[in-house]
């Protein structure tokens, strides 16, 4: 049946129009036309500017008539547009009173903050026309997609193994052997590799449209770009330059197709979202969208109208303003419902808890809204619980049990332990148990803690064991950028070496790190490439290095195939043993009548930990009968960690009668005898004691 509102009521020149619907915001395809809707509280008037795709001059500028404004929303339907071939923007007229926060400029063409497709940087790294008056162009998208029955996987949080990767860096290197390197399409080609490795969740560094040319510069003949992309242009649009089909404007379909394929292979997709600032920078920055639409609404401003900078990037998104809060909610709902995204990791999430003056709130409305949102109800929500303004909330992020956190303390403490620091045993116990010291009262159990030793920020794992200090000269800031608190140790030589013993120790330290990570309670996260010893040559802040420094070198997969095999089997081991994946914290007692507490700690003597400052040996025993709160029966697992530089004998706790110890892994042994196929472990000859080599980790299974 033809609807009454599919007929125009007004004309402007050759264009037929009618009053639009204020919701949803953005551009929506409706019968016979497109509904445009944009918010501004302080604008006097608004115009719709229409371009044919990639043309420099607009073909139409259509004012929103007074009767097209509802409240603070300008909305109209324009009929008979070839919506696949147009780009649109807005021009807003309003006050220019910077010290009151208003920065309207009616000459600027502004991108729709709800744009779901953004043109202008269609092919990665291709120089744009810098004189173009409208750089980042909103386009209209087809929302429909043939999902073939796909839906988010809803894997229980405690069963996840997260794998963090950069879409471009993962396959851009010539060694990646993909058809369209550096794209969503190439990532799809790598799904079988991820299946073999065994991870079940990828966390994608920002895939929203950003400008790789933002702050680009040339250092020693090398072009540095905004490669990581922690600087959004639009929150609703996938990055065109990450799509092999971006030049045809088909990035939405390509990305959806990738997600469908991940899901078909049992892998969840988490997006790294950056709601703390935008690419518009400070007072000196460009007009892209928000600044010209309603500066005072979208940004945190000082009383005299300057941009507050809690993000370290020039401005701070005004997350707890109701308009911005709704935009963030709309955005996440869109990704969850239209793209089937399984979860989100919030960059510098502490900012999400600041009020409109920048002060931290005890019960921030945005964080609460996200936790209780019906559409996001099964999405994983993970906070990077700090910001650049000095707010550090690991263990105290105000989100309640729905929120997990990147556990920065896990990273630091385990790094120090592996490196051989003193006085680490007490905190290491906490970290391995899922950090009950931080999360016991949080309500989310062990799943509150996303455990990681490396992530995109800081050293990759091979560099953590190859460099004492960062080497960021290539970033062109005299090595001042990047963190200095790396807790790294080069094993005897700074950087690459031919020395067999040093290289052997490095690989062993990597295996130690990943062994501990994968037997810790909580959610492990692995940085892509660490499983085959990828290096960034000592650069611990490769945000601008779109080159071999940060691209994964797949030739190392063959060179370090034994390391890869070790990680693959560790992952398999974790999946085989539910006792490693409890979702509640240990009680340190026997509540099932097995005669063993759920977890017990040991030293070189069974049942007796040496907590001396200089002690670097510790072991733990997990009672299989306590797996998943005693609901599931598993094997017993004993992990002996000797991070001392001498070999130590560990007395092993005895097992219930009829059971024996089998040896799963020993990082001190040369491959292929360093690890076994889970379930096929050989029996341990001496059931009472094992020798654990210098700086080594051994894992036993009791059954």
Partner 1 sequence: MELSINEIGNIKVINVKGRLDGNTSPKAQEELIPLLQSGTKIIINMAECDYVSSAGLRLLLVIAKTLKSKGGKGVIAGLLAEVKEVMEMTGFDRMYENYSDTDDALKALNEE
Options 84, 129, 477, 610; binder of partner 1; rule CB under 8 A: 84
Which string of x and - marks every residue 240-279 that binds partner 1 (by CB under 8 A)? ---xxx--xxx--xx-xxx-xx------------------
For the bound state, the minimum distance from the C-beta of residue 120 to partner 1, rounded and expressed in Å, comes to 18
Pick the closer one to partner 1 by CB: 146 or 558: 146
For the bound state, the minimum distance from the C-beta of residue 380 to partner 1, rounded and expressed in Å, comes to 24
Q: 148 in the Ramachandran plot: left (φ > 0), alpha (ψ -120 to 50) or beta?
A: left
Torsion sign (Cα): 377, 378, 379, 383: positive
Q: ∠335-451-470 over CA atoms, to 5°?
A: 100
Distance CA 320, CA 330 (A): 14
> Taking contact as CB under 8 A, which single stretch among the options 83-91, 100-108, 305-313, 467-475 is the one that binds partner 1?
83-91
> Taking contact as CB under 8 A, which single stretch among the options 239-247, 417-425, 587-595, 617-625 is the one that binds partner 1?
239-247
Torsion sign (Cα): 487, 491, 497, 500: negative
Which residues participate in catalysis according to the annotation?
347, 384
For the bound state, the minimum distance from the C-beta of residue 31 to partner 1, rounded and expressed in Å, comes to 12
Contact between 146 and partner 1 by CB under 8 A: the answer reads yes
Pick the closer one to partner 1 by CB: 139 or 625: 139
Options 82, 218, 304, 685; binder of partner 1; rule CB under 8 A: 82
Total residues in contact with partner 1, by rule CB under 8 A = 24
Residue matched to tokens 């879409």: 167
* Paired tokens of 212: 């790789």
> Taking contact as CB under 8 A, which single stretch among the options 176-184, 414-422, 547-555, 633-641 is the one that binds partner 1?
176-184
Pick the closer one to partner 1 by CB: 264 or 589: 264
For the bound state, the minimum distance from the C-beta of residue 228 to partner 1, rounded and expressed in Å, comes to 24
Pick the closer one to partner 1 by CB: 139 or 291: 139
Strands 636-642 and 617-622: antiparallel
For the bound state, the minimum distance from the C-beta of residue 690 to partner 1, rounded and expressed in Å, comes to 51
Pick the closer one to partner 1 by CB: 80 or 126: 80
Cis peptide before 672 (omega within 30 of 0): yes
* Paired tokens of 304: 């005299």
Pick the closer one to partner 1 by CB: 255 or 335: 255
Pick the closer one to partner 1 by CB: 185 or 454: 185
Closest among 321, 304, 309, 306 to 276, alpha carbons compared:
309
Distance CA 50, CA 48 (A): 6
Pick the closer one to partner 1 by CB: 104 or 184: 184
Tell me how long the chain is.
703
For the bound state, the minimum distance from the C-beta of residue 687 to partner 1, rounded and expressed in Å, comes to 54
For the bound state, the minimum distance from the C-beta of residue 184 to partner 1, rounded and expressed in Å, comes to 8
H/E stretch holding 51 reads strand 45-52
> Taking contact as CB under 8 A, which single stretch among the options 15-23, 36-44, 177-185, 208-216 is the one that binds partner 1?
177-185
> Taking contact as CB under 8 A, which single stretch among the options 142-150, 292-300, 426-434, 672-680 is the one that binds partner 1?
142-150
Contact between 496 and partner 1 by CB under 8 A: the answer reads no
For the bound state, the minimum distance from the C-beta of residue 254 to partner 1, rounded and expressed in Å, comes to 5
State the Rg of the chain over Cα.
27
Main-chain phi, psi angles of 391, to 5 degrees = -85, 120
Q: ∠295-300-305 over CA atoms, to 5°?
A: 65
For the bound state, the minimum distance from the C-beta of residue 258 to partner 1, rounded and expressed in Å, comes to 8
Torsion sign (Cα): 230, 236, 242, 246: negative
For the bound state, the minimum distance from the C-beta of residue 145 to partner 1, rounded and expressed in Å, comes to 9
Which string of x and - marks every residue 34-73 that binds partner 1 (by CB under 8 A)? ----------------------------------------
* Paired tokens of 695: 């700086």
Closest among 8, 74, 69 to 36, alpha carbons compared:
74
* Paired tokens of 491: 């094993």
DSSP states along 140-184 = --------TT-------GGG--EEEE-HHHHH-SGGG--SSTTSH
Distance CA 326, CA 695 (A): 51
- Start-to-end CA distance of the chain, whole Å, equals 69
Pick the closer one to partner 1 by CB: 250 or 388: 250
For the bound state, the minimum distance from the C-beta of residue 340 to partner 1, rounded and expressed in Å, comes to 13
For the bound state, the minimum distance from the C-beta of residue 268 to partner 1, rounded and expressed in Å, comes to 18
Distance CA 327, CA 113 (A): 9
Closest among 78, 297, 218 to 547, alpha carbons compared:
218
Task: Centre a 10 Å sphere on the Cβ of residue 44 and count the other Cβ atoms it contains.
Answer: 11
Pick the closer one to partner 1 by CB: 84 or 126: 84
Torsion sign (Cα): 561, 563, 569, 574: negative
> Which residues between 180 and 199 bind partner 1 (CB under 8 A)?
180, 183-185
Contact between 592 and partner 1 by CB under 8 A: the answer reads no
Query: Which residues lie below 8 Å from residue 621, measured CB to CB, with a gap of 6+?
Result: 596, 599, 600, 602, 636, 637, 638, 653
Contact between 83 and partner 1 by CB under 8 A: the answer reads yes
Pick the closer one to partner 1 by CB: 162 or 187: 187
Query: Which residues lie below 8 Å from residue 626, measured CB to CB, with a gap of 6+?
Result: 579, 590, 591, 592, 594, 596, 597, 598, 599
Pick the closer one to partner 1 by CB: 258 or 455: 258
DSSP states along 565-596 = HHHHHHHHHHHH-GGG--SS---SS-SSSSSS
> Which residues between 284 and 343 bind partner 1 (CB under 8 A)?
none
User: Beta-strand (E) ranges in 592-653?
Assistant: 599-602, 617-622, 636-642, 648-651
Q: Give residues in contact with partner 1 (CB under 8 A).
A: 82-85, 142, 144, 146, 180, 183-185, 243-245, 248-250, 253-254, 256-258, 260-261
């Amino acid at each position: 049946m033809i609807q009454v509102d599919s007929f125009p009521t007004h004309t402007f020149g050759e264009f037929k129009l009618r009053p639009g619907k204020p919701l949803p915001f953005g551009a929506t395809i409706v019968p016979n036309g497109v509904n445009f809707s944009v918010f501004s509280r302080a604008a006097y008037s608004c115009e719709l500017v229409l371009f044919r795709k990639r043309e420099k001059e607009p073909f139409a500028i259509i004012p929103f008539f007074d009767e097209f404004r509802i409240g603070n929303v300008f909305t109209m339907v324009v009929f008979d547009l070839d919506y696949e071939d147009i780009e649109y923007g807005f021009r807003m007229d309003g006050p220019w009173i910077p010290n009151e926060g208003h920065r309207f400029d009616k000459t600027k063409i502004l991108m729709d903050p709800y744009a779901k497709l953004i043109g202008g940087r269609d092919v990665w790294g291709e120089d744009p026309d810098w004189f173009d008056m409208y750089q980042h162009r909103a386009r209209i998208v087809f929302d429909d997609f043939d999902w073939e029955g796909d839906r988010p996987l809803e894997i229980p949080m405690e069963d996840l193994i997260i794998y963090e990767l950069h879409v471009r860096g993962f396959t851009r290197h010539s060694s990646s052997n993909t058809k369209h390197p550096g794209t969503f399409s190439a990532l799809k080609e790598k799904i079988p590799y991820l299946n073999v490795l065994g991870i079940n969740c990828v966390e994608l560094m920002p895939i929203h449209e950003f400008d790789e040319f933002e702050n680009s510069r040339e250092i020693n003949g090398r072009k540095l770009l905004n490669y990581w992309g922690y600087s959004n242009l639009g929150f609703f649009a996938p990055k065109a330059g990450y799509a092999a089909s971006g030049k045809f404007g088909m990035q939405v379909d390509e990305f959806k197709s990738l997600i469908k394929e991940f899901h078909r292979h049992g892998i969840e997709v988490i997006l790294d979202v950056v709601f703390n600032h935008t690419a518009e920078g400070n007072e000196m920055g460009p007009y892209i969208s928000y600044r010209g639409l309603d500066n005072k609404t979208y940004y945190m401003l000082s009383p005299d109208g300057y941009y507050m900078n809690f993000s370290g990037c020039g401005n701070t998104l005004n997350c707890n303003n109701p308009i911005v809060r709704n935009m963030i909610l709309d955005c996440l709902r869109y990704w969850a419902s239209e793209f089937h995204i399984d979860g989100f990791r919030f960059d510098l999430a502490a900012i999400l808890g600041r009020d409109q003056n920048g002060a931290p709130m005890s019960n921030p409305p945005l964080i609460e809204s996200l936790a209780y949102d019906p559409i996001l109800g099964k999405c994983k929500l993970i906070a990077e619980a700090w910001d650049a303004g000095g707010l550090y909330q690991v263990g105290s992020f105000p989100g309640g049990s729905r929120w997990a956190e990147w556990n920065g303390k896990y990273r630091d403490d385990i790094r120090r332990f592996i490196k051989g620091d003193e006085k680490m045993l007490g905190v290491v116990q906490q970290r391995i148990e899922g950090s009950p010291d931080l999360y016991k009262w949080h309500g989310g159990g062990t799943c509150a803690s996303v455990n990681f030793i490396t992530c995109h920020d800081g050293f990759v794992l091979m560099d953590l064991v190859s460099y004492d200090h960062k080497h960021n000269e290539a970033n062109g800031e005299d090595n001042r950028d990047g963190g200095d608190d790396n807790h790294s140790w080069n094993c005897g030589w700074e950087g690459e070496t031919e020395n067999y013993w040093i290289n052997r120790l490095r690989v062993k330290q990597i295996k130690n790190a990943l062994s501990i990570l994968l037997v810790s309670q909580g959610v492990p996260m692995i940085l892509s490439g660490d499983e085959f010893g990828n290096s960034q040559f000592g650069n611990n802040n490769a945000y601008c290095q779109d080159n071999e420094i940060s691209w994964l070198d797949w030739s190392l997969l063959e060179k370090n195939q034994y390391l890869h095999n070790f990680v693959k089997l560790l992952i398999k081991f974790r999946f085989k043993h539910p006792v490693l994946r409890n979702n509640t914290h240990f009680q340190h007692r026997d509540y099932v009548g097995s005669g063993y507490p759920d977890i017990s700690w040991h030293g070189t003597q069974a049942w007796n930990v040496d907590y001396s400052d200089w002690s670097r040996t510790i072991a733990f025993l997990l009672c299989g009968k306590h797996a998943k709160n005693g609901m599931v029966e598993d094997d017993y697992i004993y992990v002996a960690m000797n991070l001392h530089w001498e070999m130590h004998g560990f007395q092993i706790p005895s097992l219930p009668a009829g059971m024996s110890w089998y040896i799963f892994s020993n990082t001190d042994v040369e491959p292929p005898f360093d690890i076994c196929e889970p379930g096929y472990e050989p029996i341990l000859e001496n059931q009472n004691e094992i020798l654990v080599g210098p700086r080594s980790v051994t894992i036993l299974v009791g059954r």
